[in-house]
Structure 1
Amino acid sequence: MPRSDAVANRDRIVEAARAELSESTGAPEELKLHRIAKAAGVGQGTLYRHFPTREHLLAEVYRAELTQLVATVAPLLAQHSPLEALSRWLDRLIEYARVKRGVMAGIAVPAWQDLYAGQHHRLDDALETLLDRGKAAGEIRDRVDAADVILLLGALSRIPEADWDQRAPRIVAVIVDGLRA
């Protein structure tokens, strides 16, 4: 079992890389690992012990981002109506999509396909939970499933980086409006 300080270092490295990806408009290959180490408060040796390559780090950033997104479903449903929970979750998904975009650009295609294949069901399951609760409450159209919404969300991948902050929330709002019963 890893020591608590090693786990804390690893978590800080992943968070620093996620923040850098989220804020950066540059390509992930421009992601400066020494800057990430500095932002995380660790030396480069510690960074490389946890993540021997940029791809390893980017893959972990993706896994962590997806885990955080999926983990928001239960609290949102506990605090809001199903439609409002779905809307807030999709707003959070905008940040996930931005990070995912950076990860995809920085990982070789076969590695990305393996990473995505092992993880995407978690996103589908989370979305299906939100949709099912909304349908049961009569707030969401009956004949819509997670695959339909994922296809619609594919529009996010076509947004130019310069337009992201304005367009992504509008597209998600249109999707939510279209899901209403």
Structure 2
Amino acid sequence: MATGMTTRETKRLQTRERLLGAAIAEFKRAGMAEADVSAIVGAAGVAHGTFFFHFPTKEHVLLELERREEARIAKRFAAFAKTHDDLASTLQEAVRQVLGLERRLGVVLFKEFLALHFSPTRPPAEEGDDHPLVVLVAEQIDRARGAGAIDPDVDAMNSAIFFLLGLYALLITVDDSQARKNLVDDYLTRTLRSLQPAVRPRR
């Protein structure tokens, strides 16, 4: 129990956790659009209206899941980056973290997670909305640029966004297979190659 929390506050958080867990399980089974709120509240052992007290819409469940998963990925990626200073390793780690997210969520929920992630109509997040993995990848690209390892004209933030958008698109459009693994490896190689300093023609 968190220090200073009342019994009522603790019970409210426990109820929210049960609802979140039940909702994620239902989303994995049926997808967000087809998810049955009655099944969710039944699994959580609460009244129907309790769901909407904690989560005004089903999209708000995904927002909470997004916040938690992004924090988890950012923490792991930042720890890795502290001991690896080459861009190839850190971009490969970003790929591993995203693949880990896909495994945890399952194919259906992963696709819906990303759809909401980039939706222009997504509900506002309660605790910021800066997509920390993008920021961390941009920091690694910027560090490589400062060390002279990549082209000095590279825009670190744009490159991070392009890299992750391309990775997400590849994962949700190609079934999990050896062919997809090969495509991901090739995508990483081509991304790194695109960041290399341009070869200037001799005069």
TM-score normalized by structure 1? Answer: 0.65
Compare the two structures and name the one with the higher helix fraction. Answer: 1
Residues of 2 paired with 1:17 and 1:169: CA distance? 31
Q: Structure 1 residue 88 and structure 2 residue 87: aligned?
A: no
Q: Percent same amino acid among aligned pairs?
A: 24
Q: Which runs of 5+ in 1 are unaligned?
A: none
Q: Which structure is larger by alpha-carbon Rg, 1 or 2?
A: 2
Residues of 2 paired with 1:36 and 1:168: CA distance? 34
Change over 3 Å in CA distance of 1:132–1:104 after alignment to 2: closer
- In the TM superposition, what is the alpha-carbon distance from 1:27 to its structure 2 partner? 4.1
Aligned length: 173
* Residues 86-165 of structure 1: pairs in structure 2 closer than 5 A: 86-94=91-99, 95=101, 99=109, 101-103=111-113, 105=115, 110-112=120-122, 119-120=129-130, 122-134=132-144, 141-143=150-152, 144=154, 145-155=156-166, 156-157=168-169, 163-165=174-176
Is the CA contact (8 Å cut-off) linking 2:80 and 2:90 kept in structure 1? yes
Question: Which is further off, 151-160 or 87-96?
Answer: 151-160
- In the TM superposition, what is the alpha-carbon distance from 1:102 to its structure 2 partner? 0.3
Aligned Cα root-mean-square deviation (Å): 3.9
Is the CA contact (8 Å cut-off) linking 1:104 and 1:112 kept in structure 2? no
TM-score normalized by structure 2? Answer: 0.59
Partner of 1:59: 63
Change over 3 Å in CA distance of 1:20–1:127 after alignment to 2: farther
Provide, for residues 51-71 of structure 1, a one-character-per-residue CA deviation record: whole Å limited to 9, x for no partner.
Answer: 132122222222222222222
Q: Which has the higher contact order (CA 8 A, sep 6+)?
A: 1
Is the CA contact (8 Å cut-off) linking 1:27 and 1:106 kept in structure 2? no
Q: Structure 1 residue 173 and structure 2 residue 185: aligned?
A: yes
Q: Which runs of 5+ in 2 are unaligned?
A: 197-203
Change over 3 Å in CA distance of 1:6–1:158 after alignment to 2: same
